[in-house]
Structure 1
Amino acid sequence: MARPELSRSCPEGPPRAPARPDPAAQRRRRAGTAAIRAVVWSTRLVAVLTLATALFPTPRRVLGGELRSVLGLPPAAGLAGVVITLVAGVGLLLLATGLRRRKHRAWALAVGLTAVLTIVNLLHGAVSGHGVVAGLTSAGLLVALVMCRRWFVARPDPGGLGRALLVLTQLAAAGFGLVWLLIALDDRRVVGHPGAAAQAEHAALSLVGVSGPVQFRAGWLDDLTATVGLAFGVAAVLAAGYFLLRSPEPRPRLTADDESRLRSLLARHGGRDSLGYFALRRDKGAVFSPTGKSAVSYRALVGVALASGDPVGDVEAWPGAIEAFLAECVAHGWVPAVLGCSERGATAWARAGLDALELGDEAVLDVAGFSLEGRPMRGIRQAAARVKRAGYSVRVRRLAEVGDADAGELAALASSWRGGDVERGYSMALSRVCDPADPAAVVVTAELDGRVRGLLQFVPWGSDGLSLDLMRRDPDADNGVNELMIVELLATAPSLGVARVSLNFAVFRAALERGERIGAGPVARLWARVLRIASRWWQIDSLYRFNAKFRPVWAPRFVAFPRARDLPRILVAALEAEGFGGRPPAALRLLRR
């Protein structure tokens, strides 16, 4: 079946290709990307050389013996130097990730750490000649970092510094206290009678992996205190580094002004994309093009700015909105990603430098061409007839025609029928039910014996279309209620001025279909089997089969992303936004505290 031109019935005329982005902006972005890539790989190289300095015998001997002797430091300073060098190498590897995201705080830490390493490596070279290469490499990185400062502009999490200091203090204090207790409570295995000051000194030094003044009769206790102290010390540094460098995750909120501007754009260009109305979710922000003729709506999660659908507004202004969105991502260190854009939208994002991958298909029904006649529609026809015979009746109304009391009752029913505590859906869900702010929405209810047993909510798709937002039913309702409500909606659609209806989005629909074909290869069959197993949790196969029963036209939808290595992070953000997983709620509460 040929792919549909979804905008063919749009009164704005045939679809236009998105305009190309500003060439000057593209050149600046390419220059910045090249400079950042060079700095990131140089940082990784210096990190590897630093780790080699701490791990290989000859450099470690220079650091722990010769250099310590020349500088007249105590014996414990040698081991401390090795531990600090190891932490510096690991720290540079972690900072490279922050540098790749253009974080200014990562740049400042990298400059300070590289300056210290340069001094230490040059001292190595002056003492034994072994640290010359590492010293010159770290000095070169330091120069590159300073010269490329203007590219590292991403703002940190506003509360990150305070949280970093707090968690550093808490974990270090916990490790210090635990080691001190291990020493004080088991003094029979301690040589002599060290005082409280000696015990405290030993506990403090254990946090950096250095042996203190306390001597143990039992070797295992010495190993235990050293392991516990170092584990808490490393955990304190890593946890503090996470809070110090993490990207901001502001509470999502759509301002009244942004909502008004988006509604104005949808009134003029809402027929272009069936997902356009979902830009009005109140847990999204919006970035507008310089002309104000287009906008990208998004939500920031897990360091990802997750947009959905195509940009809202005039196609000619899409590049401006996309550039503004990408600039916002750079300013906050977010990974840009787009979930569920159309083929035309994917083209616009690809021209801005993102890659695109087909994610699934949207089921679109043409009202004029829909019919229950024929063998392929027998399942829908029989299900609807069976439920009608059971006594169900269906009402189709614009939300403006539903009274406030009835709207509140329907919203309460939808909430009680929800399968979990989390409202699911992001790219194709409005996250509110029967809200007075959406008077043009269409509500379909199925009733039995005067009680509502099923509810569908559709949002406007331009002036002549509807897009499915919500599908809920009473768990005790008969099977076939949803099919009956959709059939009755399509029968009533002409009186509502509706010519097209978008149903659910079927993720990996093409893969499931290919795996069921006669002669499908082993890889296609295996992938389809994996998707069916995953459907036990995410309704992949069931949504595809439900949509397919209506014989829709399938419209492909895509995910856009910068690089393949960002896909795992984007997947976590998408699952969390859609309400299907992501970060555990307990972990989120802990991070916020």
Structure 2
Amino acid sequence: MDAAKQHGSVWPFTFVTAAVASLLAVPALGDAPGWLRGLAELVTGSPLAPAHAVMLGLALAFVARGARLRRRAAWYGLVVLVVMGLLAVAAGDDALWRLPLLAAALLALWIRRAAFDVRPHPERIRTAIRTGAVLVLSTAVLSVLVGGMSIESVGPGVASGLSGGGGSIEGAAWLPGVLGVIGVVGLLVLVVTLLASDPPPPPGDENERRRVARLVAHPGSDTLAPFALRRDKSYVFSPDGRAAIGYRVLFGIAAAGGDPVGDPGSHAAAINAFLERCRRAGWRPAVLGASAGLLPAWGGLRSIGFGDEVVVRPGEFSLSGRQMRNVRQAVRRTYNAGVTSEIVAERDLTDDLRERLLAVAASSLGGAAERGFSMNLDELLTGYHPGTIVAIAYGADGAPIAFQRYVIAGEGVSLDAMRRSPDGPNGVNERLIVEVVEYAAEHGHGVVSLNFAAFRELLDSDERGVLEKTGYQALHLLDPWIAVESLYLFDKKFRPGYRPRSVVFRSWADIVRLAAALLTLEFGRTRPPHAAGDPVAEPAGHLERP
């Protein structure tokens, strides 16, 4: 049960706070109607200087947003504001009509206090304390340096500055206004800090990753499930522990990589746990690579199809027929060139062979760093993922010239890395894929997942409108850098099947931040290789319901 149903709505507090924030900013409007200025003064009690009005209005607007998001810091802020208003009335404010309104507001806040259940992260609290200390210290130092004032003399000056008055202090007539601006800016910084979303969590520890490794092996896990074992992902588990979601937080976006792993019966519970984690942390939830079958489980979130996962079913695959002619010829060229191959588990690689394969990877990428998120594992051939299988091609001289690494999924194997030396013969990648498909058939794997075909429908269409033609031309021109079209044409030769994959997100208002986060995750550098002294547990065994 979510907080709105359990503790009641918070929209009245949001609406009233936003309205007050708008009225606070009225003095900044030079040509505001008289009636609007009158309403503003009902709230403030006296005119504010324009700069102060804008800053205070902005601070209260952030509080209103925090109230909508059920932040406990916003609740404390509203309580402080109401209590200050009551104290002002008690001190002789002639607006006694405010007393019942303020008392009612305080009572309502107390009754609905449980609805504000999102507490600030300890890191944000420490930052706010440090900011407050710096603010007080800088104000005191400035006061002492300008005219030798005592700290006690600053108070009336600040009040005068906030009210737009012309109070002055001997030797520094400008000081009250400056201190007023510093105080309001500091207040804004404190509000923003306390209401900010939580910082990104640390990656899951090795115990969590071992739990996830067992869930990956469940036969109901998706072909993208093994990529949840990346060392840069954090985890949320379903309440029964039978499913989990791996995710990363960047720019306030909590991006899950594909569907939950583990028992399909617990996938919905894992999704709910992830969404609740995002709500409490203030993150915007997103998914990169969600399958079509699980889109309804994401509730009211939006989705955009952005391509397809390329899959080959070993039981249906054959090199015979005219449509497979190009693949047959490519494979035949490698035999004519004296290429040999083998498929081994990563744990069985010798140190010498491992180093030679890593040299192939470095030459294949031209020295660029490994990248990826949703359909790539990390720790390439470091021994950290010993259960992966590696298909290796050797040249006529016996030196390795290409390799592909595959990870074992619940229902099959998924391609992780495909590397070929630039001087290796053409057809080597086709040869290794064909042999992995045959390997999968011999070992009972139902599917081999290959690369991702982004924007496949656009690339595959024969009839394109103006927008589609523009998009296609853009992909074509950018292909030397992003390899979308060339990778699609390569995969198409195998006559594969396709699984639609979608980006799931909260709101169109998040689209710019979402795009920045997802592009950074997919194309940014991965973490440096890990010294493989403590390899992750291999996906093994099936989970059975009790």
Structure 2 distance, partners of 1:117, 1:573, is 42
Matched, 1:150 2:94: no
How far 1:88 moved relative to its partner?
A: 1.8
The answer for the alignment partner of 1:103 in structure 2 is: 71
Structure 2 distance, partners of 1:275, 1:497, is 18
Matched, 1:561 2:511: no
The answer for the alignment partner of 2:491 in structure 1 is: 547
Structure 2 distance, partners of 1:226, 1:357, is 54
How far 1:61 moved relative to its partner?
A: 7.3
Structure 1 distance, partners of 2:282, 2:417, is 34
How far 1:239 moved relative to its partner?
A: 4.8
Matched, 1:471 2:471: no
Structure 1 SS opposite 2:441: helix
Change beyond 3 A, Cα 1:400–1:231: same
Change beyond 3 A, Cα 1:561–1:124: farther
Aligned amino acid, residue 548 of structure 1: K
- Note the 1:494-533 alignment, pairs <5 A: 494-514=441-461, 517-518=462-463, 520-532=464-476
Contact 2:21 2:58 (8 Å CA) reproduced:
yes
Structure 2 distance, partners of 1:107, 1:61, is 28
Deviations 1:418-455 (A, max 9, x none): 46765421111221223545343111223334433323
Deviations 1:273-297 (A, max 9, x none): 1011222222222222232222222
Structure 1 distance, partners of 2:182, 2:401, is 56
Q: Which one has a larger percent helix, Structure 1 or Structure 2?
A: 1
Structure 1 distance, partners of 2:426, 2:86, is 71
How far 1:115 moved relative to its partner?
A: 5.4
Structure 1 SS opposite 2:294: helix
Matched, 1:47 2:24: no
How far 1:384 moved relative to its partner?
A: 4.2
Structure 2 distance, partners of 1:542, 1:175, is 62
How far 1:522 moved relative to its partner?
A: 2.2
Aligned amino acid, residue 524 of structure 1: E
**Equivalent residue in structure 2 for 1:299, among 248, 251, 263:** 248
Contact 2:7 2:114 (8 Å CA) reproduced:
no
Structure 2 distance, partners of 1:406, 1:95, is 60
Structure 1, unaligned runs of 5 or more? 1-24, 72-76, 185-193, 217-221, 583-593
Structure 2 SS opposite 1:35: coil
Structure 2 SS opposite 1:471: strand
**Equivalent residue in structure 2 for 1:454, among 383, 402, 408:** 402
Structure 2 SS opposite 1:424: coil
Structure 2 distance, partners of 1:174, 1:536, is 54
Change beyond 3 A, Cα 1:378–1:301: same
**Equivalent residue in structure 1 for 2:227, among 259, 262, 278:** 278
Deviations 1:286-310 (A, max 9, x none): 2222322222222233333322222
The answer for the alignment partner of 1:428 in structure 2 is: 375
Contact 2:220 2:262 (8 Å CA) reproduced:
no
Give the fraction of aligned pairs with identical amino acids, expressed as a percent.
35
Deviations 1:169-197 (A, max 9, x none): 769989999x99xxx9xxxxxxxxx9677
- Note the 1:349-388 alignment, pairs <5 A: 349-350=298-299, 353-386=300-333, 388=335
Contact 1:466 1:502 (8 Å CA) reproduced:
yes
The answer for the alignment partner of 2:540 in structure 1 is: none
How far 1:49 moved relative to its partner?
A: 2.4
Structure 2 distance, partners of 1:45, 1:66, is 12
Structure 2 SS opposite 1:102: coil
Structure 2 distance, partners of 1:59, 1:159, is 44
Contact 1:63 1:124 (8 Å CA) reproduced:
no
Count of residue pairs brought into register by the alignment: 516
Deviations 1:551-584 (A, max 9, x none): 21011112333333334333333223323499xx
Q: TM-score, normalised by structure 1?
A: 0.71
- Note the 1:5-404 alignment, pairs <5 A: 25=1, 28=2, 31=5, 35-55=9-29, 56=32, 58=34, 80=49, 82-113=50-81, 116=84, 126=94, 145-166=109-130, 239-267=189-217, 269-350=218-299, 353-386=300-333, 388-404=335-351
Q: CA RMSD in A?
A: 4.6
The answer for the alignment partner of 1:586 in structure 2 is: none
The answer for the alignment partner of 2:522 in structure 1 is: 578
User: Could you tell which deviates more after superposition, 308-317 or 50-59?
Assistant: 50-59
Structure 1 distance, partners of 2:368, 2:138, is 35
Structure 2 distance, partners of 1:196, 1:388, is 90
Aligned amino acid, residue 459 of structure 1: V
